[in-house]
Amino acid sequence: MVYSINPDFRQYNYNTINCVKADAVSKKDNTAPAAPAFTANPISSVPFNPTLTASPLRTRLEGKDEKNKYNTVLKSLDKDTKKTVKLMLKQGILLNSNSNDRSTVLDNLYKIATTPRAQGLSNVGILKDTINTLYSPFNITQQFGDLPNKEIADSFRDKYLQDHSMRMTNLIDRKLAEIAVDVDHSGTCVAASIEFNLAKQMPAEFARFAAGISSPEMSVKKEIKLANLADNTLDAVWLLNAFEVPYEMKDFEKATLTFAPDKNAYIRANLQTVYKDPYERSPIDVLMQSTFMQVGSQQSYDSLSDKRAGKFNQNDKGLIEFEKTFTESVVEDKNKISVTYQTVDEDAKLIGYETDLATMKRQITTALDRGENVIIGYTQVDDNNYIINGHEITIIGYKKAPKTSPTEPDKLIFICNDTDDNQFQPIEYTEDYLLPKIHHAALPHDVVESDVKMTENWVEGLNTYKEMKKKAA
């Protein structure tokens, strides 16, 4: 989704922009063929995020336990999904163990198939959705499902009104609340991009999350390194407390976090289990995106209305840049930093760039060459250079652009995934089109540390919080 300007809070480091719906950015080339999952990218001149090197690439089942799990999973599936699982075995996805507890994709698929799911969720349905997503993460979408009939719509409204009755002070508020559950355009572009990245880069961890949040426990635990949040342990703890993520300290270096969707996500997931239409979110999409929205919004997200509260943001849709960076860091357990490229004044007018486009391109391609996807936030401006929209997408590779003449300088085409374009395949942008639109990019700390002066996440968050309190006073 795209971002909107908050007119009441003009402190501008992309903290005034949130995911909401606007016209899609025009695609430079929508003809890119669908890319098979987790193979060398046939349309890229660089490795296509070779995630399987993170754990030994295995394509053969070993021992009775693995063979039993494999056969049990297959018994639950239809003919086409069985073929997909067999292809996943051949491609090295099924036995990938790049997860927090070293469990494989197969281990977690077996758990989904053989242990109870949360109320209203189907073992077979969650199993198939997880398989299809891992085989082709381009299937991930942020499109909310419609409310298919009056009875269901009324039930949603009643539930929302019940949950928010203390805030319904008059008939106008109640009427607005009634229509809040009819979500036409979601604000989950950040969460959907993180979901895509997890499925593409860490398939076993994605499957582990899917098994946990769809279980009766409705949560999953993950051990993270505190150094991936801040240089100082106390600063990392400040961040965890500020974002209100449930955690337990293991020692001064690690903590175990609990990730969970909001309670209303299961209502949405149950609806999608029965009434999912083409191009709408699967139940797994619903639960994953709610989980990541909860992390970023300080546990304040509501899946019925697609709105959030939280201390770092005065808008009620989407996640701001600081929240996105924190969420991406804890989900991937990597030291990510959000690099801001555009210079924007207090009135949300684009007035320049923090660095030249060549440096921006080098930083992004360096991360891609290392097998990292790069989630970016881009902006759209009006004729007077005021930002009117923003959106979050993922750059997954690049290739050389064809030349029209021998003297033309070398240019790149960036290969991207957009969770809001109703296309289950990559899209392409020329560098001349995309780079000037990039407001920020999430990059590994060491890729950019020699180029820019960096502010740690906890410092940025504290400054943001203080500024918001000052504006609200």
Query: Where in the sequence is the domain holding 356, given as residue range(s)?
Result: 2-38+42-48+333-472
309 domain-assigned: no
Q: ∠211-47-104 over CA atoms, to 5°?
A: 20
In Å, what is the CA distance from 391 to each residue of 3, 192, 365, 394? 6, 12, 20, 10
Whether residues 383 and 416 fall in one domain: yes
In Å, what is the CA distance from 85 to each residue of 102, 136, 178, 285, 410? 20, 12, 43, 20, 41
Q: Which of 245, 275, 296 is the last residue of a domain?
A: 296
Strands 387-400 and 2-5: antiparallel
For residues 331 and 450, give the distance between their C-alpha atoms in angstroms, rounded to a whole number.
25
Q: Which of 209, 247, 428 is nearest to 331 (CA)?
A: 209
Whether residues 254 and 384 fall in one domain: no
390 domain-assigned: yes
311 domain-assigned: no
Whether residues 160 and 137 fall in one domain: no
pLDDT at 185 over 90: no
Q: Reading across the β-sheet that carries 220-225, which strands appear in turn?
A: 220-225, 254-259, 247-249
DSSP secondary structure code for residue 51 in this structure: G
Whether residues 235 and 284 fall in one domain: yes
Across the chain, mean pLDDT equals: 85
Whether residues 388 and 269 fall in one domain: no
Reported as a pLDDT band with limits 50, 70 and 90, residue 285 is very high
318 domain-assigned: no
Question: Does residue 54 or residue 62 have the better pLDDT?
Answer: 62
Considering only the C-alpha atoms of the chain, give the largest distance between any 2 of them, rounded to a whole number of Å: 69
Q: Which of 16, 5, 4, 24 is nearest to 393 (CA)?
A: 24
Whether residues 286 and 399 fall in one domain: no
**Do 350 and 342 contact (CB within 8 A), yes or no?**
yes
For residues 267 and 61, give the distance between their C-alpha atoms in angstroms, rounded to a whole number.
38
Whether residues 174 and 190 fall in one domain: no
For residues 128 and 273, give the distance between their C-alpha atoms in angstroms, rounded to a whole number.
11
For residues 270 and 250, give the distance between their C-alpha atoms in angstroms, rounded to a whole number.
35
Predicted confidence (pLDDT) per residue in 328-363, tens digit: 999 999 988 889 999 999 999 999 999 999 999 999
319 domain-assigned: no
Predicted model pTM: 0.86
Reported as a pLDDT band with limits 50, 70 and 90, residue 30 is very low
Through-space distance between the first and last CA atoms of the chain, rounded to whole angstroms: 31
Task: Give the chain's domain count.
Answer: 3
447 domain-assigned: yes
3-state SS assignment for residue 2: strand
For residues 61 and 68, give the distance between their C-alpha atoms in angstroms, rounded to a whole number.
10
Predicted confidence (pLDDT) per residue in 389-442, tens digit: 889 999 999 999 998 888 888 999 999 999 999 989 999 999 999 999 999 999
**pLDDT for position 324:** 93
Whether residues 62 and 107 fall in one domain: yes
Burial of 349 (0-12, 13-18, 19+ CB in 10 A): middle
Whether residues 157 and 70 fall in one domain: no
325 domain-assigned: no
Reported as a pLDDT band with limits 50, 70 and 90, residue 466 is low
Whether residues 247 and 194 fall in one domain: yes
pLDDT at 203 over 50: yes
- Sign of the torsion formed by the C-alpha atoms of 432, 325, 327 and 265: negative
Whether residues 346 and 249 fall in one domain: no
Whether residues 428 and 339 fall in one domain: yes
DSSP secondary structure code for residue 403 in this structure: P
395 domain-assigned: yes
Q: Which of 4, 26, 20, 11 is nearest to 428 (CA)?
A: 26
